[in-house]
A and B are shown apart, each in its own frame.
Chain A
Amino acid sequence: MIALVVDDSRSMRRIVGGILRRNGFEVLEAGDGQQALDVLDARLAAGGEVPDLATVDWNMPVMDGLSFVVATRKRRELRPMALMMVTSESEQSQVVRALAAGAHEYLFKPFAEEALVAKLQLLGLAEAPTPAGAW
């Protein structure tokens, strides 16, 4: 599986990327929404597959995360990519805006690794834990 981590913070790209790698992802990175679109365009032009997942910060220079979500939802070839907002914007109204724009999941910063993995499971991108007592 392939994930694109979009965040202007290098430290946050490291944290999110590290969790994704531990869960079997190859990780691509971009520092803002426009860079992320450029990464996707270059990948598609080279015949590569669309990533399975993009994690997207909200507040970034050049192109913010919400604009990136809107831009990708308008492009048919990018629609298979799951979009997860990973942001410090934690008001309910912002969550609604992001989901209405086309994001599939929403995770507040700061977060524990287990919380991100749980979101991956909801998206079908990580194995759900085996119920206690199951064989």
Chain B
Amino acid sequence: MSGASTAAAPDVSVEALVGVMADLWASVDPDPEQAVRPEAAGLPRGTGPVVRGSVEISGDWNGDVVVALDEQAARRWARAMLALDEADGVSDTDVEDVVAEMANVLGGAVKACCSAGGRLGLPVVAVDGRWDGGSAGADGAAEVATGLAWPDGGDGLFAVAVVSR
């Protein structure tokens, strides 16, 4: 594990984090005519277990970029990114693959906002993770965190956070 940060946290906004997730969704949306993209929503409270993906950034700033989704939201992403039909089952492996890529893409965007760059680790996914508000259950402080939701509603917890060590 990396040591304490010696540089300021990355200069990243809620809007930037939401924009990355919306762009990723747009790249796989099975019905682009509808142009339904996830938008910023209130920061969710911790509830049940979540699929939690994270990727470490190490360098002058050390921290994690976290994405957390409940089962319903995670399966929606998995269906879209793997082009699965409604009739197809979504396995835990499918969900882990997709959430790992979400963390990877988000991590790359955040690392680009680090003043001195850094090293992006490989994503780690826990299918029985926890969402603990802004800290995302990590041993650190959230620099920025937000919930997301699709405007067509019906989905549960979906949140992203940048956490300093």
Contact = CB atoms under 8 A, between A and B. Distances in A.
Interface of A: 8-12, 14-15, 18, 59-61, 87-91, 93, 108-113
Interface stretch (B22-30, B44-52, B68-76, B157-165): B22-30
B97 A10 contact: yes
Contacts, number: 66
Contacts of A110: 20, 23-24, 26-27, 105
Interface string B78-119: 100111000000000010011011001111110110000100
Contact of B83 (A8, A18, A89): A18
B40 interface: no
A8 B97 CA distance: 9
Given A9-B104, A11-B98, A15-B28, A89 B120 contact: yes
B4 interface: no
Given A9-B97, A110-B20, A110-B27, A88 B81 contact: no
Nearest to A113: B27
Nearest to A91: B112
B7 interface: no
A61 B100 CA distance: 13
Closest 3 CB pairs of A and B: A88-B108, A11-B81, A110-B24
Contacts of B122: 8, 59-61
Nearest to A11: B81
B68 to A, nearest CB: 18
A59 B120 contact: yes
A103 B59 CA distance: 25
28 contacts: A9-B100, A10-B94, A10-B97, A11-B82, A12-B81, A14-B82, A14-B83, A18-B83, A59-B104, A59-B120, A59-B121, A88-B109, A89-B111, A89-B120, A90-B109, A90-B112, A91-B111, A93-B117, A109-B105, A109-B108, A110-B23, A110-B24, A110-B26, A110-B27, A111-B27, A112-B23, A112-B27, A113-B27
A87 B112 CA distance: 12
Given A59-B120, A110-B24, A9 B101 contact: yes
A20 to B, nearest CB: 14
A108 B106 CA distance: 12
A89 B111 CA distance: 8
Given A59-B120, A88-B107, A12 B101 contact: yes
A101 to B, nearest CB: 17
